[in-house]
């Protein structure tokens, strides 16, 4: 029997906390909405469904980010669940300047919101609530439109790197 010793941190700093949370595999999505200067978007991994009746989604975005500000103004947002084939969009929508994120990325309008093409699934939501929690805004919206590709291989983040979901 092998015994491993976990590193314990009584009051974790940001890096210790992020390292611990990186042990939790999570789906990855690009959140999109329409902005005053065209479509905007960012990468998010804090996305979850709250129930099935009605079908609401909750996502957590940093306060003051361009995408969250535009979603609050527009009242609509899309959750684009990325496929493994589009894993390059993870870094693009997390790190590139906002004005460059949509360059060369296929997208279309659905229900008044930009949605990415080639995703594993997409939901367009009407914003219902936007409470603040610490340094994030929680966007809670009801799904108005959904699409999914059962043949797509979803991407997940694990230990800060993308991985394909095996079937």
Per-residue pLDDT tens digits for 41-73: 999 999 999 998 889 999 999 999 999 999 999
pLDDT band at 11 (very low <50, low <70, confident <90, very high): confident
Residue 152 lies in a domain: yes
Distance CA 123, CA 104 (A): 22
CATH number for the domain spanning 131: value is 2.30.110.10
Pair of tokens at residue 164? 């394909």
pLDDT band at 1 (very low <50, low <70, confident <90, very high): low
Contact by Cβ (8 Å): 156, 26: yes
End-to-end CA distance of the chain: 30
Residue 7 lies in a domain: no
Pair of tokens at residue 86? 């589009």
Residue 167 lies in a domain: no
Arithmetic mean of pLDDT, 119-148:
97
**pTM of this structure:** 0.91
Pair of tokens at residue 57? 């989604």
Residue 73 lies in a domain: yes
Radius of gyration of the chain measured on its C-alpha atoms: 17
Peptide bond into 54 cis (omega under 30): yes
% of residues, the chain, pLDDT over 90: 83
The pLDDT value given to residue 10: 74
* Number of domains the chain is built from: 1
């Amino acid at each position: 029997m092998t015994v491993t010793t976990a590193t314990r941190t009584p009051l974790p700093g940001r890096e210790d906390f992020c390292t611990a949370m990186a042990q939790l595999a999570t789906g990855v999505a690009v959140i999109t909405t329409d902005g005053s200067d065209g479509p905007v978007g960012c990468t998010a991994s804090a996305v979850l469904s709250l129930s099935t009746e009605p079908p609401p989604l909750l996502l957590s975005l940093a306060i003051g980010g361009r995408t969250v500000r535009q979603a609050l103004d527009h009242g609509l947002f899309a959750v684009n669940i990325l496929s493994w084939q589009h894993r390059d969009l993870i870094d693009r929508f997390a790190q590139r300047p906002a004005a460059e994120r949509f360059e060369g990325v296929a997208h279309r309008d659905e229900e008044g919101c930009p949605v990415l093409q080639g995703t594993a699934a997409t939901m367009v939501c009407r914003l219902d609530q936007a409470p603040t929690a610490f340094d994030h805004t929680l966007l809670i919206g009801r799904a108005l439109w959904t699409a999914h590709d059962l043949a797509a291989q979803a991407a997940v983040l694990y230990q800060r790197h993308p991985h394909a979901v095996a079937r």
